[in-house]
Amino acid sequence: MSKPAATAAKPRTGFAAWFDHHAYSLVASLGRVFGKPWATLLTIGVMAVALALPLGLWLVLDNAARLGGTIERAREITVFLKPEVGLDRAGSLADRLRRRSDIEDVSLRTPDEGLASLRESGLAGGLDEAALAVVGENPLPSVLIVRPRTDALALASALSSMPETDLVQHDALWRQRLDRWLAFGERVIWVLAALLGFGALLVVGNTVRLDIQARREEIGVLQLLGATDGFIRRPFLYLGAWYGLAAGALALGLLTAAELALRGPLQALAESYGSRFAFAGATPAQALLALLVAGAVGWLGAGVVTGHFLRQTRAC
C-alpha cells in the first residue's frame, strides 16, 4: 500500500499570523532600506544632523553643569561657627539643622580637617609651617556645610541669625545666574529638539511617501482583498523605524568624532587653569535613549504619512 499523501499545512491564524506578519514586515522593510542605498544614505544623513544638534547641546549643557560643580553642589551654604563653639556643640547644632524641612543635609568640618585641607592646598597662598607655629594652636573654627532643599537665600539668612554663627558664605548672585543660564540652556535644547525633530519627521515622512507612491497599485490590490489598514501600514512603520534608528546611530557617531577632535585641546585648556576637567560623552543609557527617540521619530513620521494616504484611498 502506498503511503497517504502529506496533508497541506494549515494556514496560521490569530496571534501566530499577526506575529509572522510583524516578522516579515521587519525583515522586508530592512531589505527595502538596503535596496536604495544612495537615497537611504541621504535620508539618514539629513536626519542624523537634525538629531545630532540637540543631542550635542544636551551633552554640552550636562558637562557645563558638571564643570560648575553641579547645580546641587553650587547651592551649598558654608557656615563658619564662632571660635568658642566646641566640637560637641557644633555636632549638636548639625544634628538640629538636619531635622529642618528646608535642609537636605549638613556636614561638619572640624578645625583639624580644615587645617589638613590648608596644608594639602599649599597653605592658602603662601602660609608656611613657621607661620602656623607662631599662631600656636589651631585657629580655624568649626564649619558647617549645609545643602538646602528649597530656597537657599532664605535659609542663608536664617543661618546667619543663629547665635553660634560667625560668618555665612553663600555666593547667591553667582549661583542664581548659574541656575538661570542652565535653565535657559535646557529650554533652548527642548525648543531645538522640537523643531529639528519635526524636521526629521518630515524627512522620513517624505521618504515613506515616495515608497508608498511606488507601491500604490500593490496597496490597492490589498485593499480590494480586504486587508486592514494596520496590515498595510505595518511595513511602512518598520521602514520609518529603521530610518530613525540608523539616523540615531549616525548622530551618535558624529558626536563621538566631534568629542575625540575636541578632547585634547579642551583638556589642555583645563589643565592651564589647574583643572582636571575632561569632557564626558554620552553614557550607554543616554545613547540608548537617543536611539529609542530616533526610532520613535521615524515610526511616527511613517505612521502619519501612511495614515493620511489610507484615509484618502478609503474615502475614494
Contact 204, 29 (CB under 8 A): no
Question: Taking all residues of the chain, what is their mean pLDDT, rounded to a whole number?
Answer: 78
Fill in the DSSP letter of residue 103. E
Write the pLDDT tens digit of every residue in 177-219. Answer: 777 777 887 888 888 888 888 888 888 888 888 888 877 887 7
Strands, sheet with 77-81, edge to edge from the N-terminal-most edge strand? 103-109, 143-148, 77-81, 165-169
Distance CA 311, CA 8 (A): 38
Q: Give the Cα-Cα-Cα angle 295, 194, 54 (nearest 5 degrees).
A: 75
Q: Sorting pLDDT into bands at 50, 70 and 90, what band is 128? A: low
pLDDT of residue 304: 87
Contact 300, 236 (CB under 8 A): no
Out of 151-155, 174-178, 250-254, 265-269, least confident range: 174-178
pTM of the model: 0.59
Of the two residues 70 and 92, the one the predictor is more confident about is 92
Radius of gyration of the chain (CA): 32
Q: Check: CB of residue 29 under 8 Å from CB of residue 235.
A: yes
User: Which whole number is the average pLDDT over 143-161?
Assistant: 82
Band (pLDDT 50/70/90 cuts) for residue 252 is very high
Do residues 258 and 216 lie in contact, with contact meaning Cβ atoms separated by under 8 Å? no
pLDDT value at 168 more than 80: yes
Give me 197's grid cell.
Answer: 525633530
16: pLDDT strictly greater than 80: no
Residue 35 has pLDDT above 80, yes or no: no
Quick one: average pLDDT of 295-314?
84
Distance of CA 143 to the CA centre of its chain: 35
pLDDT at 27 over 70: yes
pLDDT per residue as tens digits for the range 257-269: 988 888 888 777 7
The gap from C-alpha 192 to its chain's centroid, in whole angstroms, comes to 14
CA-to-CA distance for 92 and 193, rounded, in angstroms?
49
HSE value, Cβ hemisphere, 13 Å, CA-based, for 23: 6
What's the CA gap between 53 and 64, in Å, rounded?
16
Fold of 83-163: Alpha-Beta Plaits (3.30.70)
How many other CB atoms are there within 10 angstroms of residue 275's CB atom? Answer: 11
Beta bridge mates, 45? none
Nine-digit cell string for 209:
511617501
Nearest Cα to Cα of residue 97 among 32, 171, 168, 183: 168
Take residue 212 and report the three cell numbers written for it.
508608498
| Range(s) of the chain covered by CATH 3.30.70.3040 | 83-163
Sign of the dihedral defined by the CA atoms of residues 292, 278, 184, 155, in that order: positive
Number of H helices, E strands in the chain: 12, 4
Ranges 60-64, 125-129, 133-137, 214-218: which has the least confidence: 125-129
**Average pLDDT value for residue range 168-175:** 71
Q: What does the pLDDT average to over 241-245?
A: 90
pLDDT at 288: 92
The CA–CA distances, whole Å, from 314 to 63, 141, 159, 169 equal 52, 81, 71, 71
The C-alpha cell at 100 is 529642618
Go through the chain and tell me how many residues it has.
316
Binned at pLDDT 50, 70 and 90, residue 279 comes out as confident
What does the alpha-carbon distance between residue 185 and residue 154 come to, in Å, rounded to a whole number?
Answer: 26
